Structure 1
Amino acid sequence: MPLPLYLLALVVFAMGTSEFMLAGLLPDIASDLDVSVGTAGTLTSAFAIGMIVGAPLVAALARNWPGRSSLLGFVLVFSAAHVVGALTTSFAVLFATRVVAALANAGFLAVALTTAAGLAPPGRKGRALAVLLSGTTVATIAGVPGGSLLGTMLGWRATFWAVAVLCLPAALGILMGIPTRPGQSDEADGPALRSEIAQLKSPRLILVVLLGALVNAATFGSFTFLAPLVTDSAGMARPWIPVALMLFGTGSFVGVTLAGRLSDQRPGLVIAVGGPLLLIGWPALAVLAETPIALLALVLVQGALSFAVGSTLITRVLYEAAGAPTMAGAYATAALNVGAAIGPLIAAATLGTVGNRGPMWASGFLVLVALLAALPFRNVMAAARSREVLQ
């Protein structure tokens, strides 16, 4: 894979650290800003909503901008939002900074996904996406647990400062390493925006976006409220929260790496094997949450399965939206973040009735819905693969 892909992954690492780090900081944020843990959890949904709205909007606005300048601008806005978030004492302002950061993240990811697809050799979009998403998985392994530990030692604001600073070398990497328009055709040769938006009428594209959203909702729903499960249900000390987050991240890295080698040619296999196992895993985590060893082992497994299945579905979005070269990344980003928005909301609603294990049960239900919706998925995979082989 080309070196610029790894530079983009560095930025995704910084942004992924920010997106996921709240899972280990919610209790401290809630206490400091005098809100409930459930209310603090809406910060995750705020970020996801900003990305849902921002991905297609910003991608449409930036489709004719120089790629390097667009990516650099998004990173600098993202950093500035974290500076404001670190300084504020108002939950409303913090909520707003998460939306702004999400808009910048959405714009960056939409352009980066399109850039990655353009840089990849033919038939290797899945591998390119795996490299890009490895930034997110490394963030869950190192960035998020490190942020949680930093938050425990110095307060949650220190983590926001760390993310803001982390963006600076990433911005330098973009400036020095990304071509102005990597992998893109000239504006005159590209399809009109209306034509790219019309791709959303494709039943196959709608299906894979729906499945990706449901699986990601299950992932974010449980991951957002993993910290209370570790400390309350399992009765483990607070320092075990970063350990659990790191295990989830390690699993996600393994999952996205393996899926990257299969999602181009054998996506149906990943879904057929990983989907049912994912369905079993979330309820099992709820049932066995009181046993620390079982909890930690299942967190590792669920991280691998969630990202293997989820990244495969997002790769399919890029393939199905091939007729929308500048908007495909926005559609893939929306598929990721529709789930990231509704997952924590559904999970938070279960806390008052089922308790800390409620999010795990909710995640199992969301995966079940996805599997039921995926009944025609084999035909989609077969048709897509045949079309790609002919190309």
Structure 2
Amino acid sequence: MSYVRCLRGLASGIEYSADVPMNLDPADGRPVEMVLDIERLAREKPDAAWYDPRRNDLWRFGGLLALDISDPNDAAHIVALGEGHTPELDYRDHAVAKAAGLSLWLKDEGQHWPGFGGNPTRSFKDRGMAMAVAQARRLGLKKLAVPTQGNAGDALVRYALAGGLDVVVAMPEDTPLPIMGSVAVAAKKHPGRVTLELVGPTIREAGAFLKERYIPEGWFSVATFQEPGWRIEGKKTLGLEMAEPKDDSTRWSLPDAVIYPTGGGTGVLGMWKAWDELEALGLIDAKRPRMYCVQSEATTPLVRAFDAGADDTTALPAGKTISTGLNVPGGVGHFRVLQIIRASGGAAIAVSEAETADELQRVWRERQHWISPEGAACLAALPQLLDRGLLKRGERVVAVNTGSLEKYLSDLRGILGA
């Protein structure tokens, strides 16, 4: 049984029905989120009865999600492909972490590990798109459109095809070839059901193209924050997994800090929402991890706005970065990302391309872990965070690796010396 009560404008606070398809808040053109009836959930499923840790996917959180897979009516809409329930890898022996006395862990969204779930396209985007496709099916939508720097489009294609929906993906021409190739192959195999459009130089132009060409023809946009909070609900499972009991403990708890590669910022909103809901259920207290949002020096809208004390970002010209998921010049939800960073006592951090490349090399050489450039950027931010006194000895820190290096390998093989 879904415990969604309504949709609510993130800025306006106006409430809307969750059963009517909508994009941005008509009151102010800003995103909306899904609001759960936490009191009813706690009353009807006390003692976290909604939680099923036996499941090896994100649907383990049952009624705390916008669709509850344990309910047959909700389950009929869900396309479950193993997404979520990814491990936190022990990185305490990372040279920088070890020297600083940090308890460093890497949330790995890119590889499949024994005993855990695994994102089918090896990207954290699967979490949001699993929920988006399920909600689209619930509302009877048949045609979805998304602009993407790459991974979101790949994920949407996988879930839309599995769920019987049609999809159009618009991406820049410099999207990593393995990602672009995956979508192109799907378009060739399923003509009429999958359409690929190459539009750039960034996701911003791709989004404008869809708005002009496809949305007027009845395609429903599931672009970042353009859908009614669905992708936030999927991404919030990252925060739930960080908090859920570990090592046979029954206690829900949070790290001291989270280092997160931030383009559009859906995951930041999702994790924060998850923790607010866990607090409302009495499972954690009001203390939150400090949120450190990492961007490439090539494209730094959040960093500039944060450093300037601005309430929102200003769109920037397109950058050039190996962390293609961070090449987001501006975002309609960035105002809320900035609010969360400040409320947490965190910061927005920029790392250089050279620092990211060096970290990719180091992780591959020392661990043979295929982390994405975006994940490497998070690890590359450690020296700066320590120099600025933003991390302290003994703290538990979780960095998020959002995908697999194999999806970038054709562009980055030279960096690895492979």
The TM-score, its normalising length taken from structure 1, stands at 0.29
Higher helix share: 1
Report which structure shows greater RCO (CA 8 Å, sep ≥6): 1
Structure (1 or 2) with the greater strand fraction: 2
